[in-house]
């Protein structure tokens, strides 16, 4: 499913984030940038230890912020690592919106035109998928309404249920 926002496109797909052919993919990272499991582990397994090595050099990323590394052997050129909130830590909605916004700002800073996100914080961090979809999509729409060089934002979801939740939310926020 695709929707336009100004001159940019938001697309929802079900698939493997590590196979995305965008300029950047977003890693749902932890604050210490240690990529052992989940999305982060899959990115390093497929992209190579160079991603972990570069992350180790950065060392730390606060909740809601974003940092960038190369993408090793991935199809993408870069990995933007953002730390979403864990459910129950407080101000989760605001922190998730900030994580998405800062990922987009990082892509902009590096003059990237395409970026793919997973469902940040909606796995082991316990963020409800529907609430996460609403915040992530709204944040992307709001960002793309401004002046930007980003032409494509993809939400690449693992599993049919997650895909359907994001698809429904995008349809709700942007009526064709």
Count CB atoms within 10 A of the CB of residue 72.
18
**pLDDT tens figures, 81-122:** 999 999 999 999 999 999 999 999 999 999 999 999 999 999
The HSE-up count of residue 43 (CA atoms within 13 Å, CB side) is 33
pLDDT band at residue 77 using 50, 70 and 90 as cut-offs: very high
User: If you average pLDDT over every residue of the chain, what do you get?
Assistant: 96
What digits encode the pLDDT tens for the residues 56-70?
A: 999 999 999 999 999
- 45 is in which domain, residue-wise? 2-173
CA-nearest of 42, 50, 52 to 15 is: 42
Q: What is the CATH classification number for the domain harbouring 64?
A: 3.40.220.10
Band of residue 124 on the pLDDT scale cut at 50, 70, 90:
confident
Number of structural domains in the chain: 1
pLDDT in the model for residue 67: 98
Check whether 176 has a pLDDT greater than 80: no
């Amino acid at each position: 499913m695709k929707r336009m926002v100004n001159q940019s496109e938001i697309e929802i797909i079900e698939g493997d984030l590590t196979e995305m052919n965008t300029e950047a993919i977003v890693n749902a990272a932890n604050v210490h940038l240690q990529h052992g499991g989940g999305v982060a582990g899959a990115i390093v397994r497929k992209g190579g230890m160079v991603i972990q090595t570069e992350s180790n050099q950065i060392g730390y990323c606060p909740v809601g912020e974003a940092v960038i590394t190369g993408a090793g052997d991935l199809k993408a050129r870069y990995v933007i690592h953002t730390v979403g909130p864990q459910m129950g830590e407080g101000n989760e909605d605001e922190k998730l919106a900030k994580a998405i916004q800062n990922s987009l700002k990082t892509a902009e800073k590096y003059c990237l035109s395409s970026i793919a996100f997973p469902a940040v914080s909606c796995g082991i961090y316990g963020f409800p998928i529907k609430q996460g979809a609403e915040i992530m999509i709204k944040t992307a729409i709001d960002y793309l309404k401004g002046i930007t060089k980003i032409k494509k934002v993809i939400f690449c979801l693992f599993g049919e249920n997650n895909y359907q939740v994001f698809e429904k939310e995008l349809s709700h926020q942007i009526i064709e």
